[in-house]
């Protein structure tokens, strides 16, 4: 009788899955042997929770590259949290797979981001993998876009890699400056994301600032259909196993429209008339053999935007359109000796932009290919070598204002057609040596093979990671790097850029608290256009970062970061304030997340205003009937007001057997702060007013998920 009662009484089992070093194992499968469909997946901290109706069963714990464990439920003390230590699979092939799943430079990333903890549960991310980066102290993106700016560097110097292939301008963007509010990536297809805030690993090239490395999923736990509807969007997402443990496909489509979004808050969006965005993606993954796998990701987007803008004294309609398609394909072959990777990408886009007497049409083509080979020389020493080919071409057909200050439709203009291309052929060697349990060394060199009249360059780096214990670690890194600036309407050339970088990062982990601090220095050289008029020859940046995150009272999480950045730019041998010259950069968030109730988050961003070139006078031009502006002799002499923004978001997750319903509401800039973005002037420049960043806006929606 007693045994029978225990067998059918309901029990709650909680536990943690760890590796031999005590590190949490994320996304391990925990389930009952008799009913595997009722299992759970460990979270970012390796934790799981199961409700059991019958303890006469066996608990199974599995994760790729580790030995599957089976535990009799009757042997478990349900009054204590269960700690499960997974052992690595002893087969050499499986060890190679584990090595291959993470990049050789993994330990030298500032952070490895999981989609669950750092994107879905990050109130700042808004479900976007690149916007999730903005909460990091290393992120210096201050223009409310998703294009990564890391430790004071221009986004044009950093790179985003998807499965080993660079994705240039990785945002939904139709403006001349290639700025976009969201990225091009759907988090549902992403497995993990690494952020190298400075000293990017030389396994990749064409970056002289930072790097974001994104990897798509290698396996699919469940088949799922997902439908979403929001104030300005409709979407569908399908994840389907074609053959269990062998191949799967993910497909999605979204349609974004402005009618409802503008309709309920038109006074907060005075410069927006309408927008339409249609995008679709397909990700296919298959094991082509016992020792090989292939992945193909294909994406298409068609977007248009209509609004109102002002440049100098002309204010009028602005219209832009863009179509883009890219494909990223990768093949991996695993053997006992190493891992061979072959990556290929093709990217094509076509866009147009109209404003006043300016009309620009641009076509972009990119073809990328790389071969990489990673070989473990010993248990603690890995080497990786490879060759990459990156061809880019841009074609501009422009009607350009004859006088930059006269941009009305009736003002004179002239036609210009420009075609530029660039081929980057590089080879590299990178090594990672785990000296012991505490010390890891990395080093790399990367050289171009000059084509036509290119200059020769050699990039090099050295890194040292010191784990004092499980709580404290230091990361010291430095090197010299090279990249080419991506052409745009204002600068139609592939200028070679370079940088010297040094950084020291410190991390302190407790059970519920995470502390991070860093200091860094950069010297970036190479001509880049500033404010569309002035060419910056060099930027010197010194920064200090601090970050703290604390979990308390079970359901609460608090984070706070602050950065000091001293940045100076050199123009014609003179030094001026840099675009990221801040004596503080504060980011803070507090979140209440109760699975039985809801998730509520409050976030704050604060920083000083950026410096800009003020117009101090004018002279009337009778030929154009416009006033010619007179700039101050001292460049970047004026500063915008301090930037302050508070956002609030709420979401509710309801699970009913195989169905789940997610509802969410977000209010951005709840205090309606008028954060100055650009200085504008009247007809003769005698008075000044400002265009503002996003005012208070609201967004809400629903997501329905069905697992089958």
Q: What is the pLDDT of residue 115?
A: 67
Q: What is the pLDDT of residue 527?
A: 82
- 8 A C-beta contact, residue 390 and residue 206: yes
* DSSP annotation string for 467-509: E-SSSEEEEEEEEEEEEEPPPBTTB-S--EEEEEEEEEEEEEE
Q: What is the pLDDT of residue 530?
A: 64
Q: How many Å apart are CA 155 and CA 212, to the nearest integer? A: 11
What backbone phi and psi angles, to 5 degrees, belong to 101?
-65, -35
The token pair at 322 is 């863009």
- The model's pLDDT over 193-225, given as tens digits with 9 standing for 90+, comes to 999 999 999 999 999 999 999 999 988 878 999
**Cβ partners under 8 Å of residue 505, min gap 6:** 110, 474, 475, 476, 477, 516, 517, 518
pLDDT-derived band at 90 (thresholds 50, 70, 90) equals: very low
- 8 A C-beta contact, residue 109 and residue 43: no
**Mean pLDDT throughout 573-594?**
94
pLDDT-derived band at 306 (thresholds 50, 70, 90) equals: very high
Top-confidence residue, 24 or 613? 613
What backbone phi and psi angles, to 5 degrees, belong to 573?
70, 0
Q: How many Å apart are CA 704 and CA 663, to the nearest integer? A: 9
The token pair at 279 is 């995008």
**Mean pLDDT throughout 47-73?**
80
Q: Is the pLDDT of residue 7 over 60?
A: no
The token pair at 407 is 């941009």
Helix, strand, coil shares, percent, the chain, to 5:
5, 60, 35
Share of the chain above pLDDT 70, in %: 93
Q: What is the pLDDT of residue 8?
A: 38
Three-state secondary-structure class, residue 16: strand
Q: What is the pLDDT of residue 152?
A: 95
Q: What is the pLDDT of residue 677?
A: 94
H or E element at residue 660: strand 659-668
- 8 A C-beta contact, residue 253 and residue 236: yes
- The model's pLDDT over 239-296, given as tens digits with 9 standing for 90+, comes to 999 988 789 999 999 999 999 989 999 999 889 999 999 999 999 999 998 889 999 9
Average per-residue pLDDT in the chain? 89
H or E element at residue 345: strand 339-355
Question: Nearest-5° angle of CA 193, CA 562, CA 508?
Answer: 60
Q: How many Å apart are CA 428 and CA 203, to the nearest integer? A: 7
- Assign domain 2-90 to its CATH superfamily: Carboxypeptidase-like, regulatory domain (2.60.40.1120)
* DSSP annotation string for 275-300: EEEEEEEEEEEEEEETTEEEEEEEEE
Task: Considering only CA atoms, give the Rg of the chain.
Answer: 27
At which residue do the structure tokens 């094509």 appear? 348
Lowest mean pLDDT among 6-15, 413-422, 437-446: 6-15
Top-confidence residue, 120 or 66? 66
Q: Is the pLDDT of residue 27 over 90?
A: no
Question: Nearest-5° angle of CA 702, CA 705, CA 706?
Answer: 150
pLDDT-derived band at 50 (thresholds 50, 70, 90) equals: confident
The token pair at 267 is 């006074």
List C-alpha distances in Å: 454 to 302, 425, 458, 524: 35, 11, 13, 19
Give the distance from CA 321 to its chain's centroid: 24
pLDDT-derived band at 78 (thresholds 50, 70, 90) equals: confident
**Mean pLDDT throughout 477-495?**
91
Lowest mean pLDDT among 57-71, 209-223, 227-241, 676-690: 57-71
pTM, two decimal places: 0.85
Q: How many Å apart are CA 166 and CA 185, to the nearest integer? A: 13
Encode burial over 549-558: b for 16+ CB neighbours within 10 A, e otherwise.
Answer: bebeeeeebe
Q: What is the pLDDT of residue 10?
A: 57
User: Side-chain half-sphere of 670: how many Cα atoms within 13 Å?
Assistant: 12
**Mean pLDDT throughout 699-706?**
92
Q: What is the pLDDT of residue 681?
A: 95
- The model's pLDDT over 315-337, given as tens digits with 9 standing for 90+, comes to 999 999 999 999 999 999 998 88
Q: What is the pLDDT of residue 658?
A: 83
Lowest mean pLDDT among 159-168, 279-288, 375-384: 375-384
pLDDT-derived band at 96 (thresholds 50, 70, 90) equals: very low
Q: How many Å apart are CA 551 and CA 540, to the nearest integer? A: 37
**Mean pLDDT throughout 22-43?**
78
**Mean pLDDT throughout 579-604?**
93
Q: What is the pLDDT of residue 114?
A: 72
- Spans of all domains in the chain: 2-90, 101-707
CA nearest neighbour of 60 among 74, 72, 77, 52: 72
At which residue do the structure tokens 């309901």 appear? 10
Share of the chain above pLDDT 90, in %: 65
Does CATH place domain 101-707 in 2.40.170.20? yes
């Amino acid at each position: 009788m007693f045994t029978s009662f225990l067998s059918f009484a309901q029990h709650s089992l909680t536990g943690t899955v760890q590796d031999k070093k005590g590190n949490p194992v994320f996304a391990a499968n925990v389930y009952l042997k008799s009913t595997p469909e009722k299992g759970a997946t460990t979270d970012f901290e390796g934790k799981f929770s199961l409700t059991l109706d019958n303890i006469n069963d066996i608990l199974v714990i599995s994760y790729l590259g580790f030995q599957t464990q089976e535990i009799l439920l009757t042997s478990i003390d349900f009054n204590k949290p269960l700690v499960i230590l997974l052992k690595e699979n002893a087969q050499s092939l499986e060890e190679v797979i584990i090595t291959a799943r993470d990049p050789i430079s993994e330990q030298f990333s500032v952070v490895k981001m999981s989609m669950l903890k750092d994107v879905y549960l990050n109130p700042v991310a808004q479900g976007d993998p690149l916007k999730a980066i903005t909460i990091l102290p290393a992120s210096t993106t201050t223009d409310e876009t998703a294009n990564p700016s890391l430790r004071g560097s221009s986004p044009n110097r950093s790179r985003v890699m998807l499965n080993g292939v660079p994705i240039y301008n990785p945002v939904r963007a139709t403006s001349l400056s290639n700025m976009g509010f969201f990225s091009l990536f759907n988090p549902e297809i992403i497995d993990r994301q690494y952020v190298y805030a400075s000293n990017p690993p030389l396994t990749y090239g064409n970056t002289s600032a930072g790097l974001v490395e994104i990897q798509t999923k290698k396996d699919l736990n469940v088949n799922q259909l997902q439908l979403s509807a929001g104030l300005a969007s409709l979407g569908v997402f399908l994840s389907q196993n074609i053959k269990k443990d062998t191949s799967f496909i993910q497909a999605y489509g979204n349609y974004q429209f402005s009618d409802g979004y503008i309709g309920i808050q038109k006074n907060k969006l005075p410069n927006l008339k309408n927008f339409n965005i249609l995008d679709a993606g397909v990700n296919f993954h298959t094991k082509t053999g016992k020792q090989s796998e292939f992945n193909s990701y294909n994406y298409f987007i068609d977007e248009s935007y209509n609004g109102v803008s002002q440049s100098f004294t002309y204010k009028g309609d602005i219209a832009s359109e863009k179509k883009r398609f890219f494909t990223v394909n990768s093949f991996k072959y695993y053997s006992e000796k190493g891992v061979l990777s072959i990556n290929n990408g093709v990217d094509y886009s076509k866009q147009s932009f109209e404003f006043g007497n300016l009309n620009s049409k641009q076509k972009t083509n990119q073809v990328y290919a790389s071969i990489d080979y990673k070989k473990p020389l010993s248990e603690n020493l890995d080497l990786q070598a490879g060759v990459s080919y990156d061809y880019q071409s841009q074609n501009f057909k422009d009607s350009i204002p004859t006088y930059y200050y006269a941009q009305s439709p009736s003002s004179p203009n002239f036609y210009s057609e420009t075609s530029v291309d660039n081929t980057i052929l590089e080879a590299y060697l990178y090594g990672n040596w785990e000296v012991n349990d505490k010390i890891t060394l990395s080093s790399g060199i990367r050289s171009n093979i000059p084509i036509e009249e290119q200059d020769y360059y050699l990039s090099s780096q050295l890194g040292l990671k010191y784990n004092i214990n499980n709580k404290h670690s230091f990361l010291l890194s430095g090197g010299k790097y090279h990249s080419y600036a991506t052409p745009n309407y204002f600068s139609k050339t592939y200028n070679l850029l370079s940088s010297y970088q040094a950084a020291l990062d410190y991390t302190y982990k407790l059970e519920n608290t995470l502390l991070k601090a860093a200091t860094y220095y950069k010297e970036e050289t190479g001509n880049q256009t500033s404010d569309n008029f002035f060419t910056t020859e060099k930027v010197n940046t010194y920064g200090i970062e601090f970050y703290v995150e604390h979990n308390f009272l079970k359901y609460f999480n608090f984070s706070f970061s602050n950065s000091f950045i001293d940045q100076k730019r050199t123009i014609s041998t003179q030094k001026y304030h840099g675009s990221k010259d801040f004596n503080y950069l504060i980011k803070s968030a507090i979140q209440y997340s109760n699975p039985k109730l809801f998730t509520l988050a409050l976030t704050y961003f604060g920083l000083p205003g950026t410096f800009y070139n003020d117009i101090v006078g004018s002279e009337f031009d009778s030929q154009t009937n416009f006033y010619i502006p007179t700039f101050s002799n001292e460049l970047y002499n004026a500063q915008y007001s301090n930037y302050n923004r508070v956002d609030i978001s709420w979401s509710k997750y309801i699970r009913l057997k195989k169905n789940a319903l997610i509802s969410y509401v977000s209010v951005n800039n709840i205090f309606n702060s008028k954060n100055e973005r650009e200085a504008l002037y009247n007809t003769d420049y005698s008075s000044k007013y400002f265009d503002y960043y996003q005012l208070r806006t609201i967004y809400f929606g629903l997501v329905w998920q069905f697992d089958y």
